[in-house]
Structure 1
Amino acid sequence: MPIITLTTDFGLKDHFVGAIKGHIYSELPEATVVDISHQVSPFDIQECAYLLKNAYKAFPDGSIHIVGVDSEKTAENTHLAIKVDQHFFITADNGVISLITEEISPEKVVEIQLPNAISSAFPVLDVFVKVACHLARGGTLEVIGKPFSNIRSIREITPTVTNGGNTILGSVLYIDNYGNVVTNISKNLFEAYRKGRKFTLEARNKKLTEIHKKYSDIINFDLEKSRRKGAGDLMALFNSSGYIELAIYKSNPNTVGGAATLLGLDYRDTVLINFS
């Protein structure tokens, strides 16, 4: 049976996540339900898309992904079930799919029209769960809706290359649980314009001239401990999603702060790379 994943902005304090899981298991006791995240910032489509984009490909083909962010149905925000990249997504038509799949065209899209459906403030429970269980049983998209072609499309800010290829102007894409700052500058873009040259990465008033492959690379183990960089030092690295990330090594964002707070960076703030 396909896996059903949950990505929401519901948090864990309230009953919502538990009720969703209980409803799934009531319909499909043999279901496998996996939480991707319930800590998406409220109504933050871009943050939701970043998390799902970097998670869904790790699941087997045929997995079913319930997207519970900005999910209330309105005249301009209908409910959709989508097959794309061999996965199913159940979501409101709020643009999140255009950010998750970007260059991949959906194979099938239907506007969800369940018989005797009720209009409620909790559509993830009352609509999305029913659709997910239907698909998990092997049901088809055609049974639960009619073809839909006008998916809302939004685009994330993309890096700009200026100054004759000598400057990349990027932005903050995401801030993770550690307070690390993920930029929208990919490793592929960086290497395409670097061409072996030296560079300076600038964020606010900080400058870095090295990008590491992993966090512990900041430590030069050949030096005495008193002379090494380490916990509390600012660094840049290529993260597991292939983007340039700024981090404070082994920093606790709940005590001393992470890179986002210490640098004063937030979503869409500017990060600059100059080649020389």
Structure 2
Amino acid sequence: MTYTTVIALLTDFGLQDGYVGIIKGAIACINPYLTVIDIAHEIPPQNIAAGRFCLMNAYSFLPNGTVYVAVIDPGVGSRRRGVAIQFSQGYLVGPDNGLFGGVLSLSEAIVAVELTNPNYWRVRHPSLTFHGRDIFAPVGAHLASGISLNVLGNCISPDSLIKLPLKEVIITANHVHGCIQYIDRFGNLITNISGKLVRDHNWSVEIAKQQIKTALTYSEVTREELVSFIGSHGWVEIAVNGGSAQQKLQVNWGDHINIFLGKK
């Protein structure tokens, strides 16, 4: 793989405390000529599932070879592994806690290493609470500058990478069962059911004991009315025209959803 000049960042650090600027500074100290793209920094604190979805939803829109440094890390300083992973469209760098499972469900890992070589960290004795600054951002900068993945640490089996437990999508003759995998800032509910599974059917959604009509977009229903459709990300989504589906339905990450399938 030819080396990249792009690093994409995703964290739950927020923008008021300086943490994002600090990790960008750690990257610039290694190579100030890299292009740094911010995917998101307002992931709900310690919400690995939300980070998993946002990373999975974003990676196909960035250049091949991009290095993704993602830090949603409630286990920082513990025995959880730091990893770097090569996949067909680039590299993933961050904690091994399920954060990369969404990307790897769509594009399998080619090689994975545990980050055990301190020569590519910012300091040999990193902070126990800020691996994003001291390990992940520097490693990402070295990768984006052409360093080989294999020198960063010990090879590990991709099969050993942590997978976040999400409810499996179950398909029967007339139903698709799934769950809410993400809730965006508008209160829209993004399910783990691919639009491909319903596109050729007449379908309706049941969630929180309510039947919800389907449409192509928000504006096909009246204001404050619930609606379901295939979102821009390709997943079945539930929304309220001009409001929050989460607040209206009082649901949360992981809650069950059922889709009824009929003939078109």
TM-score category by the smaller chain? 0.7 to 0.9
Separation in structure 2 between the aligned mates of residue 73 and residue 153 of structure 1, nearest angstrom: 20
Correspondence 1:40 to 2:43: yes
Separation in structure 2 between the aligned mates of residue 94 and residue 73 of structure 1, nearest angstrom: 13
Work out whether residues 187 and 238 of structure 1, in 8 Å CA contact, stay in contact via their aligned partners in 2: yes
Correspondence 1:208 to 2:212: yes
Q: Give the corresponding residue for 2:230.
A: 238
Q: 2:17 aligns with which of 8, 14, 37?
A: 14
The 1:209–1:161 alpha-carbon spacing in structure 2 relative to 1, beyond 3 Å, is same
Separation in structure 2 between the aligned mates of residue 265 and residue 123 of structure 1, nearest angstrom: 33
Separation in structure 1 between the aligned mates of residue 101 and residue 204 of structure 2, nearest angstrom: 33
Separation in structure 2 between the aligned mates of residue 10 and residue 39 of structure 1, nearest angstrom: 7
Separation in structure 1 between the aligned mates of residue 108 and residue 258 of structure 2, nearest angstrom: 32
Q: Give the corresponding residue for 1:118.
A: 125
- 1:173 partner SS: strand
Deviations 1:27-57 (CA, angstroms, capped at 9, x unpaired): 3221211111111122222111100001011
Q: Give the corresponding residue for 1:261.
A: 247
Work out whether residues 110 and 141 of structure 1, in 8 Å CA contact, stay in contact via their aligned partners in 2: yes
Separation in structure 2 between the aligned mates of residue 205 and residue 147 of structure 1, nearest angstrom: 48
Gaps of 5+ in 1: 219-228, 252-257
The 1:236–1:145 alpha-carbon spacing in structure 2 relative to 1, beyond 3 Å, is same
- 2:10 partner SS: strand
Q: Please, what is the CA RMSD of the aligned residues?
A: 1.9
Gaps of 5+ in 2: none
Correspondence 1:272 to 2:258: yes
The 1:73–1:106 alpha-carbon spacing in structure 2 relative to 1, beyond 3 Å, is farther
Deviations 1:77-103 (CA, angstroms, capped at 9, x unpaired): 111111112311111111222332115
If the length of structure 1 is used for normalisation, what is the TM-score? 0.84
Q: Give the corresponding residue for 1:148.
A: 156
- 1:12 partner SS: coil
Separation in structure 1 between the aligned mates of residue 238 and residue 179 of structure 2, nearest angstrom: 12
Moved over 4 A (4+): none
Residue identity in the other structure for 1:169: H
Separation in structure 2 between the aligned mates of residue 155 and residue 205 of structure 1, nearest angstrom: 24
- Bigger mean CA offset, 47-56 vs 137-146: 137-146
- 1:65 partner SS: strand
The structure whose Rg is larger is 1
Correspondence 1:69 to 2:79: no
The 1:143–1:40 alpha-carbon spacing in structure 2 relative to 1, beyond 3 Å, is same
The 1:129–1:201 alpha-carbon spacing in structure 2 relative to 1, beyond 3 Å, is closer
Separation in structure 2 between the aligned mates of residue 105 and residue 273 of structure 1, nearest angstrom: 28
The 1:200–1:142 alpha-carbon spacing in structure 2 relative to 1, beyond 3 Å, is closer
Q: Displacement of 1:172 after TM fit?
A: 1.1
Q: 1:81 aligns with which of 59, 79, 84?
A: 84
The 1:151–1:272 alpha-carbon spacing in structure 2 relative to 1, beyond 3 Å, is closer
The 1:60–1:168 alpha-carbon spacing in structure 2 relative to 1, beyond 3 Å, is same
- Bigger mean CA offset, 19-28 vs 138-147: 19-28
Q: Displacement of 1:180 after TM fit?
A: 0.6
Work out whether residues 126 and 135 of structure 2, in 8 Å CA contact, stay in contact via their aligned partners in 1: no
Correspondence 1:158 to 2:168: yes
Separation in structure 1 between the aligned mates of residue 130 and residue 22 of structure 2, nearest angstrom: 10
The 1:274–1:136 alpha-carbon spacing in structure 2 relative to 1, beyond 3 Å, is closer
Work out whether residues 8 and 69 of structure 2, in 8 Å CA contact, stay in contact via their aligned partners in 1: yes
The 1:249–1:147 alpha-carbon spacing in structure 2 relative to 1, beyond 3 Å, is same
If the length of structure 2 is used for normalisation, what is the TM-score? 0.87
How many percent identity over aligned positions? 30
